[in-house]
Amino acid sequence: MTIRRLLPGTLFSRVTLIIVIGLTIAQLLTFAAIRYERGVAMRELMMNGIERDIASSVAILDRLPAAEREGWLNRLERRNYRFELGGSVQGFAPESSSLQEFAAAIVQALHPFEVVKVAVPADPAEELQIQLRLSDGSPVVVDAKRVGMPVSDWVMWVLAVQLAVLAFCAWLAVRLVTRPLARLAAAADGLGPDLTARELAEHGPTEVAHAARAFNAMQRRIAGYMAERVEILAAISHDLQTPITRMRLRTELMDNEQDQLKFRQDLDAMHALVREGVTYARTLHGTNEPACRIDADALLESMVADYEDSGHTVVLEGRIGAPIMTRPNALRRILTNLIDNALKFGSEVCLRTRIESGRLMISVLDNGPGIPADQLDAVLKPFYRVEGSRNRGTGGTGLGLAIAQQLATAMSAELKLRNRDEGGLEARLTIDTNRP
């Protein structure tokens, strides 16, 4: 498993996690370094002073009467050494250089008392036992040991609070850095075909304000370019209406009926192409239709009834059963284009609805020849027609599916095409019922 898979998905979480882990490691290293340094300092202090303290205590015991020595043992005991009257030392000679140095310093300080044996007991290994004789020959055992560096409980609490403060500051700093990125991403997602996304606030740090100004300027430029192209297409369409009308009149005056029919068909195709081109350009510019709550079942039933009145059979399967928030006119136009496309190439058309995980799926199914798998995405582009069964001879301008795709994008829906296993094409429109 790679490190990338272990990291959280968002940039905010990743940066926060990296900074907090880095601060934690730095805190632990600092604590370890301070603890090690204090341990070394205490060991040096112990090595430099404990031998004189032990020697002084042994001298006191030597001058006390034998009967009073037992009462002085507790007074002379310290955290790192104590005394025991009588007994003997069991163990092995010190092996580590530090214990050897420690033992040599104590033995030298105990002069002129006789040191009988120096040994290290099996447990604990850091303890040193020295057996010696006082002036009257009484045996005394000195237990000397290293004492670890004491750490108060409040130190650990202070370190924990310090780490929590640093983690909070890191979280706040990362949030301040990534929040403008989140706003920029949201604004980019909201920049649909209508190009009417809300402009970003141009304030904050210099870099954030500069990015917001650049994004707002980009939005305005794109909107201007799109508006210019729509105006050009509308002007061309308007100017073409006059020559098309004149050609229609001249066609009516032709004597050859066969040529007249061909010219009329060409003029109808030109008129449809111009009309559909303007419609597609307007869908590129978006729709200002507000979302509202509608009875989708009633809308679909009315559409099926309209097709039946015009002599086409469209079967409706499934029910939604609840009102939905959507743009009704855009939804009707999308389904009309999909049904018209299905009726051109199939004899049986079915309109099927279902809801899965809060998403409404409306499918238009036909029993036509379908579309080659490598062209399913291409047919959603403007003026694209599949060669063969779906060619210019079947009618259409190649804009019906493109208009449906643009309207679906404008209403935050998803339009997908797929070939059915039993033959024919399925056009599926997926709408999130939880969002307008």
CATH number for position 120: 3.30.450
Query: What is the C-alpha to C-alpha distance for residues 129 and 139, in angstroms, rounded to an integer?
Result: 13
Which parts of the chain register pLDDT below 70?
A: 1-11, 38-49, 123-126, 146-152, 190-198, 277-288, 383, 385-398, 434-436
Rounded to the nearest 5 degrees, what angle is found at the Cα of 431, between the Cα atoms of 426 and 436? 160
Q: Do 127 and 120 form a contact (C-beta atoms < 8 A)? A: yes
Claim to verify: residue 274 and residue 303 sit in the same structural domain: no
CATH number at residue 200: 1.10.287.130
User: Cβ distance 167 to 160 under 8 Å?
Assistant: no
In a domain, 1, yes or no: no
Residue at 46 is within a domain: yes
Overall residue count recorded for the chain in this entry: 436
Determine the Cα angle at 87 with ends 84 and 88, to 5°. 110
Q: Which helix (H) or strand (E) holds 340?
A: helix 328-345
Q: Are residues 198 and 129 in the same domain?
A: no
Q: What is the CATH number of the domain that holds 367?
A: 3.30.565.10
Question: Is 157 contained in some domain?
Answer: no
**Is the residue at 160 inside a domain?**
no
Say yes or no: 19 and 75 in one domain: yes
Asked whether residue 99 is assigned to any structural domain, the reply reads yes
What CA–CA distance (Å, rounded) separates 373 from 380? 13
Inter-helix orientation angle 400-410/328-345, to 10°: 150
Is the residue at 162 inside a domain? no
Domain boundary pick from 145, 173, 204: 145
Q: Give kind and range of the element (H or E) at residue 46.
A: helix 11-63
**Number of domains forming the structure of the chain:** 3
Do 27 and 137 belong together in one domain?
yes
Query: Is the domain of 16 the same as that of 56?
Result: yes
Q: Which domain holds residue 384?
A: 292-432
Q: Which of 286, 310, 330 is the last residue of a domain?
A: 286
Contact of 363 with 433, CB cutoff 8 Å? no
Q: Are residues 319 and 418 in the same domain?
A: yes
Burial of 58 from C-beta contacts in 10 A (0-12 / 13-18 / 19+) = buried
Residues 402 and 297 in one domain: yes
Question: Cα(260)–Cα(96) distance, rounded to whole angstroms?
Answer: 116
Q: In this structure, is residue 171 part of a structural domain?
A: no
Are both 333 and 265 inside the same structural domain? no
Evaluate whether residue 411 is within a structural domain: yes
Nearest C-alpha neighbor of 293 from the set 328, 331, 334, 319: 328
DSSP string, 349-418: EEEEEEEETTEEEEEEEE-S----GGGTTGGGSTT---STTSSGGG---S-HHHHHHHHHHHTT-EEEEE
317 and 275: one domain?
A: no
Domain boundary among 245, 269, 286: 286
Same domain, 280 and 311: no
User: Of 356, 358, 351, 372, which is closest to residue 428 (Cα–Cα)?
Assistant: 351
Q: Are residues 61 and 115 in the same domain?
A: yes
pLDDT number for residue 286: 52
Q: Is the pTM of this model over 0.85?
A: no
